[in-house]
Amino acid sequence: MVKTPAAKPARKPSAKPEKAPAPAAGAKPAILPEEGSNHPRPRDPKRHEATADELMHFYKEMLLIRRFEERAGQLYGLGLIGGFCHLYIGQEAVAVGLQSALTVGKDSVITGYRDHGHMLAYGIDPKVIMAELTGRGAGISRGKGGSMHMFSTEHKFYGGHGIVGAQVPLGAGLAFGHKYNEDGGVCLAYFGDGAANQGQVYESFNMAALWKLPIIFVIENNGYAMGTKVSRSSAETEFYRRGDSFRIPGMQVNGMDVLEVRGAAEAALEYVRGGNGPLLMELKTYRYRGHSMSDPAKYRSREEVQNMKDNSDPIEAAKAELLKMGVAEDALKTIDKDIRKLVSEAADFAETSPEPDPSDLYTDVLVEQY
C-alpha cells in the first residue's frame, strides 16, 4: 500500500545499471519538455557511476547527517535544544548527491528551516552546528540564530530561512549576483513541496526565466507539507512540471538514491552553467521523523514510515552497494564508529560550551555605528 518515493515511472536512461538495491532506486528522472521541443532542455541524466571511494565518501556524509540528526533529536528530548527543530533523517541522499556536484566557494546554496543536513553536506563543522542548536556562544550564529538560521558565507551557504518559500527569491537574488558578477557560479535553492505552493516561488520562476538566472530550483518533495499530504495541498502533484508555464524545464529524480541524485545534479549543472537559465528539480524523498519535534504524527501510518525505512533507505542502499563493490564490512563498521565519535564530540561541545555572553544581546543588530 505504500507508495515508493519515486512514484513517477519515466523513460529509462539507456545505461542504467540494475544493481541499485532499494526498489525505489528503479525510478528514472524524467525531463520536460519532451524531446523535439523548441526550448532548450537538459540532457537525460545518468545515474552517477561512482568509484568505491566516491560512494564511500557519500556514504560517510549521509551517515554523518543521520547520526547528527538522531543526536539532535535526543538533545531536543533532553531539553538542550529549544524551539523548532526540523530533522533531515530520510532525505540525506538529496543534500549529499546535489551538493557533491557543486564547487564550494563558487556556487551558492540557500535553503529553508530544515537546514542541518545541507550544512553538513557542505563540510561545515558539526560542532558549530550542534552548538548553534543548543544556543551556545560558539554556535555558527553565536547562538542567535538557532536551528533554522545558520549561515556560512565562507562556503557561500546563505541559510537557513524560516519563512516558508522566502529562500526562493533570495536564491534568485544570489543567482542574479552570479550573473551580474559573471563569476560562473550557480545557486542551488532548496524548498519543499509545501513551499512550492507559495506565490513568491512563481514570481521568482518568472524573473529567473526572464533574466536567465543561473539557478537550480530544488523541490524536496517529502510527501508532506507539515501534516498535509501532497495530494491534499497541491493541484499539480508532479512538482517537476511546476515550471512549465515559465518554460523552466523540470526533472524528477529519485531522491532516495544518492547516485541518481548526483547524476541528475551533473546534468542540471551542465544545463544551467551553459547559460540556459533556470532548471527545476523535483527530488522525491521521505522524512522519517515528524515535520518538527512537536509533530503528533497522526497524518500517516506507522507502516508507511516503516516500509520506507525498510525498502527505500538511502544509507542502507549505499551500504549494500558498497558491499557489492567489494568493500569490507569492517571498513564500514569503522566508518560508523568514527562518525559516532564525531557526533558525540559535537554533542559534548554543544552541551559544555557556554551560552552567549549577556552583552551579545545588543551586538549585531546593525553593522555600523550611527
Partner 1 sequence: MAIELKMPALSPTMEEGTLAKWLVKEGDTVASGDILAEIETDKATMEFEAVDEGTITKILIAEGTDNVKVGAVIAMIAAEGEDASTPESAPAPAAKSEPEAEPEADKADSAKSEAPSENAKIVPETPKRAPVSDPAVPEGTKMVSTTVREALRDAMAEEMRRDERVFVMGEEVAEYQGAYKVTQGLLEEFGPRRVIDTPITEYGFAGIGAGAAMGGLRPVIEFMTFNFAMQAIDHIINSAAKTNYMSGGQMRCPVVFRGPNGAASRVGAQHSQNFGPWYASVPGLIVIAPYDAADAKGLLKAAIRTEDPVVFLENELVYGRSYDVPDLDDHVLPIGKARIMRAGSDVTIVSYSIGVAVALDAAEKLAGEGIEAEVIDLRTLRPLDTATVLESLKKTNRMVVVEEGWPVCSISSEIIAVAMEQGFDDLDAPVLRVTNEDVPLPYAANLEKLALVDSARVIKAVTKVCYKG
The residues binding partner 1 (CB under 8 A) are: 108, 110, 139-145, 149-153, 156, 158-163, 166, 168-174, 176-178, 180-181, 199-200, 203-204, 206-207, 210-211, 363-368, 370
Q: Whose Cβ is closer to partner 1: residue 117's or residue 160's? A: 160
In the chain, the amino acid numbered 365 is V
Min dist. Cβ of residue 288 to partner 1 (A): 28
DSSP 36: T
Cα-atom radius of gyration of the chain, to the nearest Å? Answer: 20
DSSP reduced 3-state for 3: coil
Min dist. Cβ of residue 301 to partner 1 (A): 36
Q: Whose Cβ is closer to partner 1: residue 149's or residue 340's? A: 149
Residue 158 phi, psi (nearest 5) = -100, 30
Alpha carbon distance 114, 85 (integer Å): 8
Residues 6+ apart with CB under 8 A from 96: 58, 61, 62, 65, 121, 258, 261
Q: What are 154's three cell numbers?
A: 565562507
Q: Within 10 Å of residue 45's Cβ, how many Cβ atoms?
A: 25
Q: Whose Cβ is closer to partner 1: residue 183's or residue 338's? A: 183
Q: Compute CA distances 358 → 134, 142, 300, 362, 365, whole Å.
A: 16, 12, 43, 8, 14
Min dist. Cβ of residue 160 to partner 1 (A): 8
Residue 109 β-bridge partners: 157, 188
Min dist. Cβ of residue 345 to partner 1 (A): 22
Q: Whose Cβ is closer to partner 1: residue 169's or residue 223's? A: 169
Q: Edge-to-edge strands of the sheet including 108-111?
A: 30-32, 250-254, 279-284, 215-221, 187-192, 108-111, 157-160
Q: Whose Cβ is closer to partner 1: residue 338's or residue 364's? A: 364
Min dist. Cβ of residue 325 to partner 1 (A): 40
DSSP reduced 3-state for 264: helix
Min dist. Cβ of residue 248 to partner 1 (A): 14
Q: Whose Cβ is closer to partner 1: residue 188's or residue 259's? A: 188
Min dist. Cβ of residue 197 to partner 1 (A): 14
Q: Whose Cβ is closer to partner 1: residue 47's or residue 178's? A: 178
